[in-house]
Copies of this chain bind each other. A is one copy, B any other.
Amino acid sequence: MISVVILGAGNVATHLYKAFQASKDVTVKQWYNRSLKTIETYKNKVETTDDLSKLVEADVYILAVNDDAIAELSSLLPFENKFVVHTSGSVSPYDIDKKNRRGVFYPLQTFSKAAPIDFSEVPLCLETLRRTDYALLKKLGASISDHAKRVNSDQRASLHLAAVFVNNFTNQIYRVAQEITESQGAEFDMLKPLILETAKKVHHMSPYRAQTGPAKRNDKKTIKKHLKALDNEHHEAIYKLLTDSIKKTHGR
């Protein structure tokens, strides 16, 4: 049984708490947050505290807090030589105060308060500064996810950056598509099966092979028609840039 203490109460902290609670190999010994109010609904299920001096003994301390808060919170921990990890995609493990053994436990997924998540499908990027700490972190990761892997800081940063593309940028593309359809009184809903199929397609073939459409074919007539139909400068700029990008990728 691995014992953990969770620090923080955002979406990542909450989903991690639930995943650990559901695992037979992990016990959450304590949940710390600056404000007890945020986690008070859990106080009958787990020991909660807002006092760092009352932190209990555990195998792993998980700092699931904002990137900017990691360094300071880690320096305030009232113990040494324990195993402390953060959950950030872009922060170095060296940002954690060096009085403790340090690592990273980064779940690569988008979390919202409302939606439940199947943690077994969430990729976990694991890193430890001491080689001897890795086995424990791997065991902790494997207790909740089927995709817990060693990922170094450069790789993790590239995944975190790429995640902005496939999550935030893709979502903005969906938003633009909604603006385009609704400007003509068409239903954005009709695009949803295509949105899902496009996402599924790259699970079994590369984005390169999955590509279709006027830009890939360099179908100038259709591209011209589309640019004429776009009456929003901003949508037009996105159309042009991504069309050029596809042409470049496919050697047009």
Q: List 5 A-B contacts (CB under 8 A).
A: A151-B186, A158-B180, A164-B226, A168-B213, A171-B201
Point out the residues of chain B lying under 8 angstroms from A180, CB to CB: 158, 161-162, 165
Interface flag for A3 (CB, 8 Å): no
Instruction: Select A208's contact among B159, B175, B194, beta carbons within 8 Å.
Output: B175
CA A48 to CA B188, docked complex, whole Å = 38
Beyond known contacts A67-B222, A110-B201, A170-B174: 15 more, CB 8 A cutoff: A108-B191, A158-B181, A158-B186, A158-B229, A161-B180, A162-B180, A164-B214, A165-B174, A165-B177, A167-B213, A168-B214, A168-B246, A178-B206, A234-B245, A238-B242
Q: Is the CB of B191 within 8 A of A196?
A: no
The prevalent SS among residues of A at the interface is helix
A241 partner residues in chain B, CB cutoff 8 A: 237-238, 241
Task: Using CB atoms, name the residue of chain B closest to A154.
Answer: B184
Question: In the complex, which of the residues B171, B177, B186 contacts A211, with contact meaning CB atoms closer than 8 Å?
Answer: B171
Asked if A242 and B169 make an inter-chain contact with CB atoms under 8 angstroms apart, the answer reads yes
Scan residues 169-222 of chain A and give those whose CB is less than 8 A from a CB of chain B. Answer: 169-178, 180-181, 183-188, 190-203, 206-208, 210-216, 222
A: which residues have CB within 8 A of B?
67, 90, 108-110, 112, 115, 117, 121-123, 125, 147, 149, 151, 154-159, 161-178, 180-181, 183-188, 190-203, 206-208, 210-216, 222, 225-226, 229-230, 234, 237-239, 241-242, 245-246, 248-249
Q: Are A175 and B234 in contact (CB under 8 A)?
A: no
A12 vs chain B, min Cβ distance (A): 12
Contact A174 B226 (CB under 8 A): no
**A194 and B230 within 8 A (CB):** no
Pair B172/A191 contact, Cβ less than 8 Å:
no
Which residue of B is nearest A117, CB measured?
A: B197
Known: A181-B158, A194-B108, A225-B90. A172 touches B246 (CB 8 A): yes
Contacts of A163 in B (CB 8 A): 177, 191, 194
Question: Are A190 and B242 touching (Cβ within 8 A)?
Answer: no
A185 to chain B: which residues have CB within 8 Å?
154-155
Chain B residues with Cβ below 8 Å from A168 are 211-216, 242, 246
Contact partners of A245 in chain B: CB under 8 A: 172, 176, 234, 238
